[in-house]
Structure 1
Amino acid sequence: MAQNRSHAVMAQRTEAPDSRDDFPTPPWATRALVAHVLKDFGPFDLQSVLEPACGAGYMARPLAESFGQVLTSDIYPYGFGSVRDYLAVPYEANAVDWVITNPPFRLAEEFVLRSLIVARRGVAILARTVFIESVGRYRNLFLQHRPCRFAQFTERVPMIKGRVDRTATTATGYAWLVWSKEIKTQNPELFWIPPCRKALERDSDYSDRL
């Protein structure tokens, strides 16, 4: 069998320490968060959300379809949102209702810990399924800060460097992890996000225009 050498498959989000780690989230995957994972936390039209690793806005724009206020920033200038190092220049405590983001994988733990201070209601990150592994992450994050939900995509969420691509494929599994300030649990809820790409995807998601 020929080896699948798709860029998305081969990249596996493994980046050099000084890389921008720019792997935009297909907008349908963010709509899946609102529709299937956070549906009982809404309505969101009077709630605010911060996307602190916004890149070119591929997650922020679908969030704006539901949330009343969307704040955006990124450490690099992508022409969308303000330029701000989320970890070095912190937002005030309880500045927004939610922090929702797809953080750089190597900084995801730090992003969650910072976001738990910034958010009033909750935090959601999109991460590789293997994020829940490692003794260090268990000790530094999960032991004291248990997510209330772990929502695994049943469909693959292809991410490739620097752009979204409707035809991309991937061997990497992704999930949404949610922390709630209102729900305290020692046993996070595990569930599966049903197949929904076809229903949530739009042709305009793949436009180069912001």
Structure 2
Amino acid sequence: MVKPLSEYFASVKYADAFDYGYGPVRDFLSYPYETNAADWVITNPPFRLAEEFILRSFDVARHGVAMLVRTVFLESVGRYNRLFLNDPPSVFAQFVERVPMVKGRLDQKATTATGYAWLIWEHQKRDASKLAWIPPCRRQLERLSDYSDDQPALF
């Protein structure tokens, strides 16, 4: 995500839990980030730790949090009570096409049966959650250079 985010933001700080050859290795949940250390926290957390990442991000981010999660992340009474009841996302943005993800690398031919969505919390917005759809866009946004063999893994 660092590469495309860097195309839109003047400064992008990044780290990863594993050494994919791109950026420092750091455990987001235990690293001593200061409160409001970043404008935004934007990430695709390890899915089993998504709730913990979201809760931690609320303290780290000044303006908002954007988490890429599996759509089924919404399906939990416990998670609803711990997270969504008091801190619902501002936007739930569902991908209408399936977004294939392969751990540690990009794969142009990958497919998936899993649905994904962005959950976005904007700290200044406390209105009801908005549902949005991310229209088919993968083919329009991909570049051949995204898949070149000499590129380091970007996620």
1:85, distance to aligned residue in structure 2 (A): 1.1
- Listed as ranges, the gaps of 5+ residues in structure 2 are none
Is the CA contact 1:101–1:126 (under 8 Å) kept in the aligned structure 2?
Answer: yes
Question: What pairs up with 1:71-86 in 2 under 5 angstroms?
Answer: 71-86=13-28
Spell out, residue by residue over 1:128-147, the C-alpha distance to the aligned partner (whole angstroms, 9 max, x if none). Answer: 10011101111111112110
Q: Which amino acid aligns with 1:189?
A: K
Q: Which amino acid aligns with 1:190?
A: L
**Equivalent residue of 1:74, what SS?**
coil
Q: Which runs of 4+ in 1 moved over 4 A?
A: none
2:72 alignment counterpart: 130
How far apart are the structure 2 equivalents of 1:155 and 1:198? 11
1:144 alignment counterpart: 86
Is the CA contact 2:20–2:104 (under 8 Å) kept in the aligned structure 1?
Answer: no
Cα RMSD (Å) = 1.2
Deviates more, 1:81-90 or 1:150-159: 81-90
Q: Which amino acid aligns with 2:44?
A: N
1:110 alignment counterpart: 52
1:79, distance to aligned residue in structure 2 (A): 2.4
- Listed as ranges, the gaps of 5+ residues in structure 1 are 1-58
1:103, distance to aligned residue in structure 2 (A): 0.2
Is the CA contact 2:94–2:132 (under 8 Å) kept in the aligned structure 1?
Answer: yes
Percent of residue pairs bearing the same amino acid type:
64
CA pair 161-79 structure 1, distance change in 2 beyond 3 A: closer
Spell out, residue by residue over 1:109-160, the C-alpha distance to the aligned partner (whole angstroms, 9 max, x if none). Answer: 0000111111111100111100111011111111121100001111110112
Task: Please point out which of 143, 150, 153 is paired with 1:202.
Answer: 143
Normalising by structure 1, we get a TM-score of 0.69
2:101 alignment counterpart: 159
Question: What pairs up with 1:60-71 in 2 under 5 angstroms?
Answer: 60-71=2-13
How far apart are the structure 2 equivalents of 1:197 and 1:153? 10
Normalising by structure 2, we get a TM-score of 0.92
How far apart are the structure 1 equivalents of 2:111 and 2:34? 39
